[in-house]
Amino acid sequence: MESIKIKKATEQDIDRLQKIGKQTFAETFSSENSEENMREYLEKEFSTEKLKSELTDENSEFHFANLDNETIGYLKINIGQSQTEIKGTNSLEIERIYVLREFHGKKVGQILYDKAIEIAKGNNVDYVWLGVWEQNLRAIRFYKKNGFVEFNKHVFILGGDEQTDIMMKLKLD
């Protein structure tokens, strides 16, 4: 097996981003959510217009995890005003780390996470934060293992469903 390569996404990668984004989100959450709420969320959050504006936002970055020229996961980070919530002036948000189900347990998420921390350190932020669905115990364990602590909660809307995200953060040295 070749090694996993991380590549920053550009506007030309919009179709690839849309495909991996929808597929990984559906794999992760469709068993616990209604088909209608999933469809509404996927259509809105992964629309060509929304992804295009996110890809051209200088305060947001997407990075793909590629293996043998296949995209198997991705990362989205936000800084400054592009964070989904402003939790402080000098922070970086990990908005998404998603990996295709068949590659779970193969360290792909850790590689994407390490990339996010590298970017955070390069931007000299004080801390990294994120929101994770309270029922996504696998992700919560992953972030705790990487030193994150819970500090708050917020509401996440999936279609017509209000869900609770646990807010977690990691102070950087």
**What is the rounded average pLDDT of the residues 61-90?**
91
Who has greater pLDDT, 97 or 85? 97
Q: Which H or E element spans position 118?
A: helix 108-122
Handedness of CA 18, 82, 155, 160 (dihedral sign): negative
CA distances, 161 to each of 15, 36, 79, 156 (Å)? 27, 10, 27, 8
Nearest in space to 25 (alpha carbons), one of 69, 63, 73, 57: 73
pLDDT value at position 88?
65
Mean pLDDT, rounded, of the chain: 93
Is 1 a residue whose pLDDT tops 70?
A: no
Is 116 a residue whose pLDDT tops 80?
A: yes
Is 42 a residue whose pLDDT tops 80?
A: yes
Report the alpha-carbon distance of residue 104 to residue 122 in Å, rounded.
28
- Structural domains for the chain: 5-130 (3.40.630.30)
Could you list the active site residues? Answer: 143
